[in-house]
Structure 1
Amino acid sequence: MIQALWRCLAVAALLAGAVLPSQAEEALKPCRIPGIKNEVQCGVLSRPLNPAEPAGTKIDVHYVVVPALARRKQPDPVFMLAGGPGQSAIKVAPQVMPLFTRLNNRRDIVLVDQRGTGQSAPLECEDVRHLPLADQSDTERQMKDLRECLGRLRKLPYGDLRFFTTTIAMQDLDAVRERLGAQRVDLVGASYGTRAALEYIRQFPKQVRRVVIDGVAPPDMVLPASFSTDNQAAFDAVVAACEAESACAKAYPSLRADWIALLASLPKPVTAVHPLSGKTESFTLRRDMVLGSVRGPLYSPLLASVLPMAITEAAKGRYEPLLGINSLFGSSKGTALAMGMHFSVVCAEDFPRMASAKDAPGRDFNRDFSRVYDRVCAEWPRGEVPEAFYSMAPSPAPVLVLSGSIDPVTPPRHGERAAKALGPSAMHVVVPNIGHGVLGTVPCMRDAMFRFIEAEDDAAALKLDVSCAKGVPRPPAYRPIDLSTETAKK
């Protein structure tokens, strides 16, 4: 998964072919967006749907500039690249802007809705989290819904879904940079936003000053295949941590056996309370539904700490804890994905390489997750991806690479590979006991990001002290309070 506006010297702007500050300011209008209390500036940039046909169908790319507070601000803005693929950078502003508070003192923060998300030619499908549990467990129903969504999206004025790739989107991003009159920008990307950042570096290396990528999804990472491998490793770590923690091992002595028995019992008819509607429903609990309910909490060590209890309860026939903690993951409306954009990216960039993926499927997760993509991508339109997209060249700009040691989707192995390819200008920091997203979890790493971007020169940036992150503990396993015991103590 933000960018900014600044002033350039007139001569330098002319030499670079950039837009002059006055022109950039004219392109922006005062506005307000949900989640930010102060007035910001909104802009819209018309872009060709197909870059090869500049006179053809146009789409509007929407962006927001959160102006720097200081009167004498720095010239290079910070562009935040949202995750997913499918998140709207503008809609996640309430969640991400607190991470940029210090940077926003002297730098504009820019949020661009990538094409296919937010207000930029959105490609949205129904949010399945609010469907009845019976529909959520019905794979054929979901496929039918996606086919219907695909049909609706194709009828849109911008419905040629081949033109929503990361490569084209980063050309939009550079057009916003040019419109704002910025010669160089700082990039901060998380999750899929790291892939977007790496692609921007590949296409526009001279326009990049500093880069922070958190939870790295490199372009050579085949997403559906790697998820199985990495999900399994993260889940096994949860079980191992419980077995090594005396209180957890005592509370859930048969956790591993309970998990195996639960999977072996599926599919089966069950009754449970819907975590969002509160209604009791009867439905068929399927293996992929259970794996999905486990996969979500693995993103956050705090939510993952509830898994031993939830799995133990599910093995006893009580499924509400497992379904409930999964509903907490990504429950904010701002973090919802535009699934049409999501499939347009993954089906073009990852799916064609599935057959040659080298990641071995996880023991429990197997290929359950990737089977969805097998079926969807067999019908979804696919854009062209240049072969150079999948390579990472040495970066001319310093890159701070962040990984959580127990991340279930972008663990350190991917960050390490990216850092090695990016060369001596990249430094890789692995934070212990952190899941998906370091900046949003470890406060001192936000300070590290600030010092990295604000460093006077590249050498100083790469000497960043990140020792503050070494002692992060893993949350202990959750254990419900025994009210009868507490009453007896009183």
Structure 2
Amino acid sequence: MEVAVRSTPALTTVAALALALAGLPAAADPSGPAEPDLRRFYTQKIKWAACKPDVQNLPEDVTKDKDVSCGKVTVPLDYAKPGRGTIGLALMRVKASGDKRGSLLVNFGGPGGAGVAGLAGAKKDFGYVGKGYDVVGFDPRGVGLSAPVSCGGQPEEEPEADADDAGAVLRQLRETAAKCAKESGPVLPYIGTVNVSRDLDVMRRALGDKKLNYLGFSYGTRLGAVYTAQFPKKVGRMVLDGVDTLTENVQEQGLVGAEGRQTALDNFLLWCTKNAGCVFGEDSRMARHAMVKLIDDLDAYPLKSMDGEEFTGQDVVSVLGTALYSRQAWPALSQALGALLADGDPRALLRMGGRPQGARTEVPEDNSDAALMAVNCADDPDRPGAERVEKEIGRLQTEFEEASPVFGRSMLLPVLLCFGRPAGTDYIRDDVRDVDAPKFLLVGTRGDPATPYRWTEETAERLGSSAVVLDNKGDGHTGYFGSKCVKDKVDAFLLYKQLPKNGSSCAAE
């Protein structure tokens, strides 16, 4: 609650200047509507301590590293009414190995990707840029250890899209939305990129930085773009890699994702059948049929472990969706599929999919999927009514299956699961454009299966002259981890402010 005080014009000017210098939001004009007082969030200090492997499920070499520590930042549940409650956001920091010039906040995508676990797994990849920055990963609100959302079940426990009984699907969708609201608690109505962007600014200040230095991958590019619109004067050195769309709705995004993943799978099977020992033989067309049959058979007759846990065709789809992001994973994927087909052994695939093997964790097993749906729905103002869903579910099912016989089903479900939730914000679609920020770098990869290169071009045009595009001619989702050329150019910009020319490129490697 804001406390009214009597002040002279001179004192008011001094106070406003002090707040501006501190990087805090200044108070509103007394003659206008009152702004919430956020100073207690912007003046907090982070208490860094050793990370806890039993809670965060982190590898031992990370938790024993003296340069790695974990902390928490407190943010309001509702920025418009900060008295409603708070959320603790989990952070991990890898201290700079050289002369520190600030912090570099990293978002690994999703939405629903946990940044603490993400940084633990990718710590070595930031060794060079880490000479000049404390590299900081964070779990966004609703994700990981930051008030995780859940729908109360396993990731695969989702309604089936059945065009023959649209009414039953609608009932399932309503039940799922109600279950998600119940299991997620008070954070669910306040999830979404607009609020996460505001959280970023609180983190920036808590880390002691006047400007935000940021590296966002995939969904993290949407988050970075929103930040440039909300806080243009606080943008430092920003890189957006694997550029997300700011305009296409959830349905359009799902179709693009299905098509991109199917293309990547077809390319993988073509590569596999040209190599000796490929479990699918030598005919890529037959291999595509064999992959569909494998998934259908496992959905109908799942494998069961000694403890009763099932491994289904949709589990295969989930692993494929991750493994196809990088060509470097293709040999391991080929071997894992070989073990599954030859011996009925899914363990290698499970390891590739990152499924926890009995590890302790405070994070619900379905958190990543639940957060992805919650954020995408919150960011999308389109929300079809029951009549439209009943009328169009058959057409949608056909459209997604034609886009991908393997990934169509899994990419349609998040679209349907927005039904029954409140309409999302129109801020991203309407207002994130023509930003007046310092120049920042967008990296688009031509063979990206998840974020097509045209999204890079469209987003750059939308954001205006501040956006500089680097064209990566290679394959895989994002460029930083798969292209030495991209990595060198990104690191040079972040460390030395050497920005490549707009439209310059990196050759496929």
1:441 to 473, 476, 482: 482
What are the ranges of 5 or more consecutive residues in structure 2 without an aligned counterpart? 1-15, 25-40, 52-57, 163-168
1:403 counterpart = 2:444: yes
- Displacement of 1:208 in angstroms is 0.7
- Pair 24,161 (structure 1): closer, same or farther in 2 beyond 3 Å: closer
What are the ranges of 5 or more consecutive residues in structure 1 without an aligned counterpart? 1-10, 473-490
- Displacement of 1:453 in angstroms is 1.3
Q: Which runs of at least 4 in structure 1 moved beyond 6 Å after TM superposition? A: 23-26, 135-140, 142-146, 248-251, 278-283, 306-314, 332-336, 353-357, 464-467
Q: CA RMSD in A?
A: 4.5
Paired with 1:65 and 1:292, the residues of 2 have a C-alpha distance of 30
In structure 2, the residue matched to 1:209 is 236
State TM-score, norm by structure 1.
Answer: 0.72
1:345 counterpart = 2:375: yes
In structure 2, the residue matched to 1:30 is 48
- Pair 329,403 (structure 1): closer, same or farther in 2 beyond 3 Å: farther
C-alpha offsets along residues 122-178 of structure 1, whole Å, 9 cap, x if unaligned?
Answer: 21456847x8xxx799889x998995796375366x525221010011111112223
2:353 to 318, 326, 329: 329
- Displacement of 1:442 in angstroms is 3.1
SS in 2 for 1:29: coil
SS in 2 for 1:408: coil
Q: Is 2:152–2:179's contact at 8 Å kept on the other side of the alignment?
A: no
- Displacement of 1:330 in angstroms is 3.9
Paired with 1:281 and 1:55, the residues of 2 have a C-alpha distance of 44
Paired with 1:327 and 1:208, the residues of 2 have a C-alpha distance of 38
Paired with 1:318 and 1:271, the residues of 2 have a C-alpha distance of 16
In structure 1, the residue matched to 2:145 is 119
Paired with 1:409 and 1:309, the residues of 2 have a C-alpha distance of 24
- Pair 178,233 (structure 1): closer, same or farther in 2 beyond 3 Å: same
- Amino acid corresponding to residue 78 of structure 2 in structure 1: N
Paired with 2:435 and 2:241, the residues of 1 have a C-alpha distance of 18
Paired with 1:251 and 1:365, the residues of 2 have a C-alpha distance of 16
Q: Is 1:406–1:432's contact at 8 Å kept on the other side of the alignment?
A: yes
- Amino acid corresponding to residue 421 of structure 1 in structure 2: R
The percentage of aligned residue pairs carrying the same residue is 23
Greater shift in the superposed pair: 338-347 or 389-398: 389-398
1:416 counterpart = 2:490: no
Greater shift in the superposed pair: 173-182 or 187-196: 173-182
1:376 counterpart = 2:417: yes
1:94 counterpart = 2:120: yes
SS in 2 for 1:50: coil
In structure 1, the residue matched to 2:188 is 161
1:82 counterpart = 2:135: no
Paired with 2:345 and 2:381, the residues of 1 have a C-alpha distance of 33
- Displacement of 1:255 in angstroms is 2.5
- Displacement of 1:192 in angstroms is 1.2
- Displacement of 1:402 in angstroms is 2.2
C-alpha offsets along residues 328-373 of structure 1, whole Å, 9 cap, x if unaligned?
Answer: 134478998533322211122248278999x986153574234312
2:283 to 242, 246, 254: 254
SS in 2 for 1:159: helix
- Displacement of 1:113 in angstroms is 2.4
1:46 counterpart = 2:74: yes
Paired with 1:290 and 1:41, the residues of 2 have a C-alpha distance of 35
- Pair 120,322 (structure 1): closer, same or farther in 2 beyond 3 Å: closer
- Displacement of 1:31 in angstroms is 0.5
Q: Is 2:228–2:235's contact at 8 Å kept on the other side of the alignment?
A: yes
- Amino acid corresponding to residue 216 of structure 1 in structure 2: V
- Amino acid corresponding to residue 353 of structure 2 in structure 1: F
C-alpha offsets along residues 299-340 of structure 1, whole Å, 9 cap, x if unaligned?
Answer: 1213345667888998xx758478853651344789985333
- Amino acid corresponding to residue 112 of structure 1 in structure 2: F
Paired with 1:399 and 1:465, the residues of 2 have a C-alpha distance of 13
SS in 1 for 2:282: coil
